[in-house]
Amino acid sequence: MNDEARSNCPVGTGGEPEATRSAVPMGIVVLTFALLFLGGVYFDHHSGWFNARVYSPYVSGEQLELYQPKSGAAAALAQGKKVYETVCGICHGPDGMGKPGQAPPLAGSEWVNAGGFHRLAQIPLDGLNGDLQVEGKDWNLNMAPMGAALSDSDLAAVLTYIRSSWGNKAGPVSADDVKAIRAVVAGHPAVNAGQLNSIPE
């Protein structure tokens, strides 16, 4: 090693060369942070992770789940809710609590929670008129046969939805059940409470 190289090489006490620490050039530090920042901006604009337009208008996973395709019993309930809100909810309310002077409640109703469903199914198929008692309260109504125009599967879905919503715990109704009841009662005049009570469940 020549004298010049030897003079530039730090030597320890034992005569051996030593490694020394030197600062990272500031330009490299700035460049590294700049690249990280630009990478984050690119990720933000192209990945959708932080972009609200990807997720809106949903605010939670539970809310998003409501809009996912369903099958089986869940699909029937979703269809029942949709038809109920379109056809029945106008009078009986979206919460099934009814409207004073207009329609009785379905939530907690003894007609809805009965062991069978034949009486309940006949009401939307034929309509209802006259006095009716629901949860100890008298109602005097004229209900058109709102379910007569529905398909068997849609009416079954609505009845199932009503019988399992707002605290009601009654069993499901199938399209075949509705079809059988429709074959017997279709085209009959509107029924009253006395006639309904005479129908076996």
Q: Tell me, what DSSP letter sits at residue 199?
A: S
Residues 181, 115 contacting (CB under 8 angstroms):
no
Q: What is the pLDDT of residue 158?
A: 92
Average pLDDT by stretches of 10, the chain with 201 residues: 56 66 85 92 71 65 71 81 89 89 87 85 84 82 84 92 90 90 78 71 70
With H, G, I as helix, E, B as strand and everything else as coil, classify residue 129: strand
Q: What is the pLDDT of residue 113?
A: 86
Cα separation, 68 vs 66, whole angstroms: 6
Residues 105, 97 contacting (CB under 8 angstroms):
yes
pTM score, two decimals?
Answer: 0.64
Cα separation, 61 vs 83, whole angstroms: 25
For 90-102, b where at least 16 C-beta lie within 10 A, e where not — what string? eebbeebebeeee
